[in-house]
Amino acid sequence: MTVDTLLEATAQVLVSSGYERASTDAIAARAGVSIGTLYQYFPNKASLVAALIRQHVDEVLYLVETALAEHEGSPLDTTLRALVRAGIEAHRLNPPLHKVLFEQVPTEQILGQAPDVSSRLQAMIEAVLRRKLPGISRTRTRTVALVLETSIEALTHRAVVEAPDWLRSGALEKEAVALLKPYLLQALR
């Protein structure tokens, strides 16, 4: 419970103060714990941010995995819509925090701490495509999964940074599906 409280406080301080101005003292104060308690769990700000990134990655993977599992027997276009929706939901979890993490946290810290989420998402998509379209070559399926994952991530990330309201309106989901459905249907013939 203390770790969860510290991570929530870290997210709040990052959003309100930015990465550079966030400090372990401010995080401990926001969490309502002593600095000593914070240091029992996390040695520094970087370790708090790394844990927050891992938590976010786990949430993203869970949302996508759940959406794909729920649509296992659905037609391909329904599965695509569910995949796009899951990508948007993942970015809708906390857009201000997502923006801070990917615009202010040093890139080497993000890359060094977060597992390769894109590769894991691509593998999930590829597995679904192989089950739904067993006649398509592995190379082609892998390429299509890469394009889908990258497109959804790029669209949703850009919305987080430039227009978070698009994540709530439904417009981004509609446009992303309109863009990707013809590609998917054509690419997998």
Length of the chain, please? Answer: 189
- The pLDDT value recorded for residue 109 is 60
Look up residue 4 and give its two tokens: 């969860």
Query: Is residue 15 within 8 Å of 96, Cβ to Cβ?
Result: yes
Question: What pLDDT score was predicted for residue 163?
Answer: 80
The SS3 of residue 20 is coil
In the chain, count of helices (H) and strands (E)?
11, 0
Question: What is the token pair recorded at 110?
Answer: 């993000």
What pLDDT sits at residue 104? Answer: 80
Per-residue pLDDT of the chain (189 residues; tens, 9 = 90+): 889 999 999 999 999 998 889 999 999 999 999 999 999 999 999 899 989 888 888 888 999 999 999 999 999 889 999 999 998 888 887 778 887 877 787 766 655 555 578 889 999 999 999 998 888 899 999 999 999 999 998 998 888 778 878 878 888 899 999 999 999 888 777
CB 45 within 8 A of CB 30: no
Single-letter amino acid code for the residue at 108: E
- Per-residue pLDDT, 94: 79
| H/E run at residue 148 | helix 138-162
* pLDDT value of residue 16: 95
Q: Which pLDDT does position 50 carry in this prediction?
A: 87
pLDDT of residue 187: 78
The pTM is what? 0.81
**Furthest-apart CA pair in the chain: how many Å?**
61
